[in-house]
């Protein structure tokens, strides 16, 4: 049985605070097919209340994809705050997929998202 887990958090680097209320889904990718594994929403700390995956649902030598649905968050927290009461006709960022491989199912994989209205970055955290 695996002791590993997958966690995330989202930080709004433009506002300098955690990003709450962002829908997050986790997919396992096999042969270009995606299988939904979990869905949740970030809490007030920008984290999820529980690991995205853990135990037997988290396997080694697999590819996973975390999808962050950020469009509504960016519209409410950035465009409306800056006096733009109407969001742009086309958001630059709406959903952000991050695909990565898992080598060791007993390890902690932490995949954070650093978010701004027109860009993002990620890394394997601890």
Please state which CATH class domain 5-122 belongs to.
Answer: mainly beta
Q: Read off the tokens for 84.
A: 């733009």
pLDDT tens figures, 79-122: 666 665 555 667 788 999 999 999 999 999 999 999 998 899 99
- Where do the structural domains in the chain lie, given as residue ranges? 5-122
Instruction: Give the residue-averaged pLDDT of 61-78.
Output: 92
- What pLDDT does residue 36 have? 98
Q: 25-41, pLDDT tens digit by residue? A: 999 999 989 999 999 99
Q: What is the mean pLDDT of the chain?
A: 91
Residue carrying structure tokens 């060791």? 104
């Amino acid at each position: 049985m695996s002791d590993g887990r997958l966690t995330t958090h989202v930080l709004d680097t433009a506002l300098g605070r955690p990003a709450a209320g962002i829908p997050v889904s986790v997919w396992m990718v096999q042969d270009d097919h995606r299988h939904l594994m979990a869905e949740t929403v970030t809490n007030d700390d920008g984290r999820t209340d529980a690991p995205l995956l853990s135990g037997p649902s988290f396997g080694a030598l697999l590819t996973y994809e975390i999808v962050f649905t950020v469009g509504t968050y960016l519209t409410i927290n950035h465009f409306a705050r800056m006096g733009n009461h109407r969001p742009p006709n086309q958001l630059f960022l709406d959903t952000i997929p991050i695909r990565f491989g898992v080598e060791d199912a007993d390890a902690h994989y932490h995949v954070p998202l650093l978010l701004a209205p027109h860009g993002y970055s990620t890394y394997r955290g601890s």
